[in-house]
Amino acid sequence: MPKVLIADKLSPLAAETFAERGIETETRLGLTPEEVAGVAAEFDGIAVRSATKLSQAALSAGAQGQLKVVGRAGIGVDNIDVEAATAHGIVVMNTPYGNAVTTAEHAVAMMFALARELPAADRSTQAGKWEKSGFMGVELTAKVLGIIGCGNIGSIVADRAQGLKMRVIAYDPFLSPDRAKDLGVQKVELDALLERADFITLHVPLTDQTAGILDAAALARCKAGVRIINCARGGLIVEADLKAALESGQVAGAALDVFEEEPARDNPLFGIPNLICTPHLGAATTEAQEKVAVQIAEQMSDYLSSGAITNAINMPSLSAEDAKRLGPYMKLVEQLGSFAGQLTQSGLKAVVVEYEGAVAKLNCGPLTQAALTGLLRPMLDSVNMVNAPVLARQRDISVSEIKHDRDSAYQTLVRLTVKTERQSRSLAGTLFGDDKPRVVEIKGIQMEAQLSPHMLYLTNEDKPGFIGALGNLLGDAGINIATFHLGRNERGGDAIALIEVDEPISRGLLGKVRKLPHVIQATPLSF
């Protein structure tokens, strides 16, 4: 039975969901990165929120054992070394939708609080003051809301803001014009947003591109008296620059749920009158915590039990239904990749995977990664579907996926072309009876063969007597031939043979095969 470590405080529903799916759990809270590294290899999965750090050392240690997946109950994966996880073939999942509504609502609440100075008014009133004229707020109606990042959360904020009769503009390089139209927002460049917005709210991840997106220069371009909300990630705003802008009045107020350093116990911004702060409460509702706990438990359970992949950071999504449907194709493409990999003797330059017929209508991303895995495994025994693309990039191997909408001689066909420093090699395969992989073409030569544990691949000149000489040699060595597949490009030209044998070909026997007349290449294969 698979076993998952729950390393952070999750809703009890998480453990219940794991148990319902046949997954054993063990809860250990407050582990240091070193302690996580010490136990990671004992578990198939690790579920965390934001407190536990999954370092390179922890993930490396886990990969030495049985660790296959880590799950973040929430959106941000800052506490997980995703690069290290990918390198070690560990799937990283999150729950990008579970707390989207909650976080969006918190941003809207912060906007209301800023507009009407609610926290300060509350403190004043409870202190026995009645400073009615001291808290002159502003309306939200007809104000321009600038949203930086209009994805899952930003789009919900946009919807709520339109309900408040605000005019919404958005900066998001990945927001298509059609999507912007559907959301009812105006897509603008960052400079235009800064110049026009009365309120600015941030909803982007912290990346090299977004770090410090609101710095002194950006804040200076803003409309005087702008109000800023950040419920996304600390580090998006340069805090020292924000402090200066608040003190000068360029920024009329700011509401922050996140900080450059958390927990934020001593921050230079604290104490500024026109600042509202909350302790990273964006996802802190009962509903959200239950949602993300159940979702991550379901996602991890599905992966460990059926191979289904949902909301993975480093893998294409793959539903349980897709996993079942793709199963035979997975075997086919990995065999094709393995075939090519075992024949490759020079540096790989490019890989092209083409899909025709029924397979072209499926989710082919996982198939391409499976083909790449099979191709690289003869050279890299640690490769799997997760880290195969990374390993390919590290070696400057170009990987392309092509789908063809055209008739084929077969109902479904996968073609793998491998380009090396010396040559280009192509092979194609199909499924017989919907689940039986077959090779149907090698180097442009038609051939139908089932791949087996022990095989011998030969290229030779098409000359009389070759098959007899080969058969005699194998027979004299006590090697039984199970199947013998032949093909040629033309009479007297290049020919190939794919031979299934009952036991591996020894090195000594292989040397004798290679010395036979007309042999160009002889390579043992294993599947």
State the catalytic residues. 233, 262, 280
Torsion from C-alpha of 469, 475, 477, 483, nearest 10 degrees? 100
Phi and psi angles of residue 420, each rounded to the nearest 5 degrees, phi first: -115, -175
Q: Residue 228's beta-bridge partner residues?
A: 200, 254
Alpha-helix residue ranges (DSSP H) falling in 386-465: 388-394
8 Å CB contact between 442 and 427:
yes
Question: For residues 479 and 461, is the Cβ–Cβ distance under 8 A?
Answer: no
The pair of three-digit structure tokens given for residue 172, joined into one six-digit string = 């998001």
Helix (H, G, I), strand (E, B) or coil at 210: coil
CB 31 within 8 A of CB 52: yes
Smallest CA-to-CA distance from 223 within 146, 170, 168, 161 is with 146
Pairing of the two strands 481-488 and 494-501: antiparallel
The distance from CA 18 to its chain's CA centroid, rounded to whole angstroms, is 22
The token duo for 204 is 């982007």
Neighbours of 216 (CB within 10 A): 15
Q: H helices of 307-453, where? A: 320-343, 365-376, 388-394
**What is the spatial distance between Cα 76 and Cα 290, in angstroms, rounded to a whole number?**
17
CB 338 within 8 A of CB 416: no
The answer to whether 337 and 373 have CB atoms below 8 angstroms apart is yes
Q: How many CA atoms lie within 13 A of 276 on its CB side?
A: 27
- Point out which residues pair with 25 in neighbouring strands: 4
- Residue type (1 letter), 190: L
> In 3-state terms, what secondary structure has residue 347?
coil
Amino acid in position 48: V
137 alpha-carbon distance from chain centroid: 44
- Residue type, position 301, single letter: S
Other C-beta atoms lying within 10 Å of the C-beta of residue 331: 19
Q: Are 524 and 505 in contact (CB under 8 A)?
A: yes
d(CA 176, CA 156) in angstroms, rounded, equals: 16
CA dihedral over 120, 234, 6, 58, signed as positive or negative:
negative
Contacts of residue 400, Cβ cutoff 8 Å, sequence gap at least 6: 350, 351, 352, 353
Task: Please state, in angstroms and as integers, the Cα–Cα distance from residue 348 to each residue in 123, 469, 524, following that order.
Answer: 68, 34, 20
